[in-house]
Structure 1
Amino acid sequence: MIVISAALFGALLGALTARRQGGRGLDMLQYGAGFAIAFALLGLFATILIERSI
């Protein structure tokens, strides 16, 4: 659940970042995908750390 929510948050943040910089639709899509992948990886590591500590 953490991974999915982090990916969605990253996609939203990436799209907003691209829009703020004056990007077009494909720019927002690319930023959204990149941020989603990065945040999903962070969420995955957080999930692994939480599961190992329990």
Structure 2
Amino acid sequence: MSTCPECAADVSLPDSVEIGEIVDCGTCGAELEVVDEDPVELDVAPELEEDWGE
């Protein structure tokens, strides 16, 4: 269990999570990235930017 940085709701996590894994907040729907494993810390996942071939 961890806390959503967007809405402060509890986010249930699988038993084994890895750094860089993306999980969704069930309350606000934010995409969250696991940034630390012990204890599990979540941060808002970065938005993917369009690559227009530049």
Q: Please confirm whether the aligned pair reaches a TM-score higher than 0.5, indicating the same fold.
A: no
Q: TM-score, normalised by structure 2?
A: 0.28
> If each structure's helix is expressed as a fraction of its own residues, which one has the higher value?
1
Higher relative contact order (CA 8 A, sep 6+): 1
> If each structure's strand is expressed as a fraction of its own residues, which one has the higher value?
2
